[in-house]
């Protein structure tokens, strides 16, 4: 059966036009950022170099794509139109008149729409998992670097034990069906997800212990919000029904945090061992400040530059790992539109059709490229500071 197509020019203009909310948002952000960059601190300095602008714009492009996915995508990512199976790019659906801009996959789903909705999954899991890994690694790295001795030896041994495993093999073991059907991922989640509560609770206590009224309010808010997120993520029992995570997503989340935390730990430990020798730390010790106050309010703020750069790079690594897991069938559910699953599904047709594999590959590559460029710009700025 012959289908009507719109041609290469029609495909290009059609794709560009579908992203109109993204172009509008990027234009507004770029204008305001350039207009007020002198008062925006580190963010404003990113606009002093082409690398910083490019990296930031690429990352924001995918962020706004995830936000406006319902507007950009012409089809539901799971919608199947049987006659559009393996449709070539630019094919017009004779029933509805809508265009499969980047073609159809082997299950007759719109490749363009799946790429767009896949950004939502990546931009939720990768940054969130990286944030939790930073919380775990920072909370353990601070005392290891500051105290040294037995505490350092014990925590460093645990970190090295995890780092000794090949990353892909470690991920495979954590998300393989035999493991994920047990309670191990939930137990690990229960341990990892308590670290943000401990971190912020300690942060507020060391700062405001002399002001009991304010401290009580901050601790109450920390426990309330932290407990709400904890119950929703670990037990999927959020009473408000706002925070939830599927078992597959929880397994991947835990695997990313478990594998990334030791790397963060070693970076924080090394930074603390260097910074604790500075004069302002000695001055705080002379004033009789609590060690945790010194770690959180004197040492950690002066380590923020390298940690921000590492976070950008680590989000990129996590994105690649998510794609790798999806490609090996160890990621999310098979019908998920995430980019790794899309590459896996399309790879079965590479000998006959290459077009379904290109959009998720390009999306994954461009997002990681944007993060790397952003990290380079941040690194250059941190060296200047």
pLDDT in tens, 226-246: 888 888 888 877 777 777 777
Distance CA 300, CA 336 (A): 39
Helix (H) or strand (E) holding 270: helix 247-275
CB 277: neighbour CB atoms within 10 A? 8
* 120-320 topology per CATH: MetI-like fold (1.10.3720)
pLDDT lower than 50: segments of the chain:
none
**The tokens of 196 are what?**
């943000």
Distance CA 25, CA 200 (A): 33
Distance CA 37, CA 45 (A): 7
Q: Are 275 and 199 in contact (CB under 8 A)?
A: no
User: Which residue ranges make up each domain of the chain?
Assistant: 7-118+354-384, 120-320
Q: What letter does residue 91 receive in the DSSP assignment?
A: E
Helix (H) or strand (E) holding 293: helix 291-294
Output the pLDDT for position 354.
63
Quick one: CA dihedral 192, 193, 195, 198, positive or negative? Answer: negative
Output the pLDDT for position 169.
74
Q: Are 263 and 227 in contact (CB under 8 A)?
A: no
DSSP β-ladder status, 91-92 and 99-100: antiparallel
Q: Are 312 and 374 in contact (CB under 8 A)?
A: yes
Output the pLDDT for position 177.
59
Output the pLDDT for position 292.
92
Distance CA 255, CA 325 (A): 11
Distance CA 336, CA 114 (A): 9
Distance CA 156, CA 166 (A): 18
Q: Are 118 and 125 in contact (CB under 8 A)?
A: no
Considering the entire predicted model, what is its pTM? 0.85
**Which residues have CB under 8 Å from 290's CB, separation 6+?**
206
């Amino acid at each position: 059966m012959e289908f009507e197509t719109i041609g290469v020019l029609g495909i290009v203009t059609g794709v560009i036009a579908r992203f109109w909310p993204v172009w509008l948002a990027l234009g507004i952000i770029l204008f305001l950022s350039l207009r007020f960059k002198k008062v925006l601190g580190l963010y404003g300095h990113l606009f002093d170099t082409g690398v910083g602008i490019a990296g930031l714009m690429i990352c924001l492009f995918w962020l706004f794509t995830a936000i406006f996915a319902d507007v950009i995508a012409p089809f539901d990512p799971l919608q199947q139109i049987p006659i559009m199976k393996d449709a070539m790019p630019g094919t017009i659906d004779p029933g509805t008149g809508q265009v499969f801009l980047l073609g159809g996959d082997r299950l007759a789903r719109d490749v363009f729409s799946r790429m767009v909705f896949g950004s939502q999954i990546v931009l939720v899991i990768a940054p969130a998992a990286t944030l939790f890994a930073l919380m775990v690694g920072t909370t353990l790295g601070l005392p290891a670097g500051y105290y040294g001795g037995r505490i350092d030896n014990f925590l460093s041994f645990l970190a090295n034990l995890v780092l000794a495993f090949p990353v892909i093999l470690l991920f495979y073991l954590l998300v393989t069906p035999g493991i994920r059907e047990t309670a191990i991922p939930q137990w690990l989640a229960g341990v990892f997800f308590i670290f943000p509560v401990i971190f912020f609770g300690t942060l507020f206590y060391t700062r405001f212990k002399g002001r009991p009224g304010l401290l009580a309010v901050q601790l109450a808010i920390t426990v309330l919000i932290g407990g709400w997120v904890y119950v929703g993520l670990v037990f999927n029992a959020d009473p408000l029904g706002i925070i939830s995570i599927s078992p597959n997503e929880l397994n991947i989340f835990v695997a990313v945090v478990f594998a990334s935390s030791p790397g963060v730990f070693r970076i924080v430990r090394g930074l603390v061992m260097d910074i604790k020798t500075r004069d302002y730390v000695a001055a705080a010790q002379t004033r009789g400040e609590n060690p945790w106050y010194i770690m959180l309010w004197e040492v950690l703020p002066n380590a923020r530059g390298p940690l921000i750069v590492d976070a950008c790079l680590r989000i990129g690594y996590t994105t690649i790992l998510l794609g790798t897991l999806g490609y090996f069938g160890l990621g999310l559910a098979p019908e998920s539109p995430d980019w790794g699953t899309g590459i896996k599904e399309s790879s079965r047709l590479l000998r006959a059709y290459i077009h379904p594999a290109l959009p998720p590959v390009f999306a994954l590559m461009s997002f990681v490229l944007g993060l790397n460029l952003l990290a380079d710009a941040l690194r250059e700025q941190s060296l200047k500071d």
